[in-house]
Amino acid sequence: MPRKGTMAEQERFNQSPSFADVDLYESDRALRDAVVANGAVDEARMLAAFGRRWGAGEMAEHARLANENPPRLQAFDARGYRRDTVEFHPSYHHLLKESIGASLHCSTWTPAGERAGSPAEVSRAARFYMVAQVENGHLSAMITTRSAVAPLGAGPPVAAEMIKKVVNRHYDPSFRPWEEKFGLTLGMGVTERQGGTDLGGGATRAEPVEGGYAVTGHKWFMSAPMSDAFVVLARAPDGPTAVLVPRFRPDGGVNPIEFQRLKNKLGNRSSASAEVEFRDAFGWRLGDEGAGVRTVMEMVQLARVDCAVSSAGLMRAALSHAVHHTRHRGVFGRRLAEQPLMRAVLADLALESEAAVALAFRLVRSFDLGGESAAERMRARLLTPTAKYRIAKGAPALVAEALECLGGNGFIEDGPLPRLYREAPVNAIWEGSGNVVCLDVLRTLDRHRDEVMAVVAELAGEASDLPGVAATVAALKEAFEDPEPERVARVAVERLALLAAAAALRASGSPIAETFARTRLLGGGGITAGTSRLSVAETDRLLSRAMPE
């Protein structure tokens, strides 16, 4: 076992102690407030136990090992036959087993493929957010499995049988037909070489055959490639169609899904993303021919929500490491966290992190309530791309600033912040980059203007006593009415996200709501952390909420 430095040595060398064995739930005031405000107060005891489990040093070590030992493609076996499998480090399997054991992949669904009752979404989001602080790569399989259940509801009876095997807590990584397994995971194959934005422009074909379709073509990205089945978009005779493609054919033979290579990604390195070739791979149709894009849109929306929640988790992790380090690092005769300039930076980071949590969890609550409320369904539809835009695009900058709080130590691969920094950009790209989700907001406005403006009015009402709300609503309406709305789409979505975050903070009774509105809606600060002109009292409040001493 490596020798750990004693407290005396840590003091002498001015190094912060290891940040491990942390209670990710009880130490996070913003999370606890969001859970209560969004209807999951009865879940608190379970979430506290979960936070202790995932905050343990053991889980951090598995995260390190899974990322330092990335997956390997096994395209062929020793005799030259195609194998098309991916080998993962045991720590990756351990993380997946833990997350599946906690139902991160399925707790928002019933075995019949229906949405689980409230507060299933909020409860899962809390767990997902805590896991994201530890290891994001394996969450790709949780995202794809959870979201892919949505289009399976439009499939044949075999799809319903698969859902039953998804909605359990059994992790089975074996490579064999799904009928023989107790637990399944699902992947996605949507993006093609010529572009990922235009879902209807794919060249992969789906030809009708007895009992289903034969899928032929190439996918530039296929997420979670060791899953048991994949939701694939392909061009059938009547247009783009969603097809469920299993790893094994109904006769028990391996489906001809050939893995060309694993992507060499900037981050998310513990997981695999594959480039694949389908060679008359068998699949079952999901939904109507020609309606493939519409069939997969709920899947896309659910994945976007997870991107927002995951990014909020990354922000929280980065903030936690920055606060922990600065509280133990001495400089110029005082702890670094006591220095006024560092306090200004940390308070700004805490403000951004807490607002991200409030925005994400109020969005998730809309999915819990959407089954009974058309207004909440529209709120979810409008704010899903909006929240993803604001939170996912804000995460890389926040992580970079937190990394800087550790100085040179933050830039060294021995610590977790470089991994967080590499992880941060992916959620802004996955399931719609910034421009794509902004255009999605404009499409919703074009088709449902009255309902969209009703959501804006509701948000304004919830935050009506906060500074800058009236001006923000006026700026938002001006952008929505611009003769060239695409030109100002980012302006509109940014203002909408800020309004929604302020409303979420106010509705939850957060003591930082007014601070957020004054600094973000009224503005006046700079573009970097530490420039918001927070008062001493505001700084004290934010830092006391950020993490217990």
**pLDDT(199) > 80:** no
- The region that residue 205 occupies, defined by phi over 0 for left and psi between -120 and 50 for alpha, beta otherwise, is beta
Q: Which long-range contacts (CB under 8 A, 24 or more apart) does 5-12 make?
A: 10/328
Q: Give the type of residue at 92.
A: Y
Q: Give the type of residue at 100.
A: I
Asked whether 49 and 43 are in contact (CB, 8 A), the reply is: no
Averaged pLDDT, 266-272: 95
Q: For a pLDDT cut of 70, what percent of the chain falls above it?
A: 97
Residue in 494, 528, 535 with CA at minimum distance from that of residue 514: 535
Averaged pLDDT, 143-168: 97
**pLDDT(341) > 50:** yes
2 pLDDT band, cuts 50/70/90, is very low
**pLDDT(178) > 60:** yes
> How many angstroms separate the CA atoms of 158 and 284, rounded?
9
What's the first-to-final CA gap in the chain, in angstroms?
29
3-class DSSP string for 357-379: HHHHHHHHHHHHHCCCCHHHHHH
Q: What DSSP element (H or E) covers 50?
A: helix 44-54
**pLDDT(522) > 70:** yes
What's the pLDDT at 455?
98
pTM: 0.95
Asked whether 502 and 463 are in contact (CB, 8 A), the reply is: yes
**pLDDT, tens only, 407-430:** 999 999 999 999 999 999 999 998
**pLDDT, tens only, 75-125:** 998 999 899 999 999 999 999 999 999 999 999 999 999 999 999 999 999
> How many angstroms separate the CA atoms of 521 and 516, rounded?
7
Q: For a pLDDT cut of 90, what percent of the chain falls above it?
A: 90
Asked whether 107 and 46 are in contact (CB, 8 A), the reply is: no
Give me 522's structure tokens: 């009224």
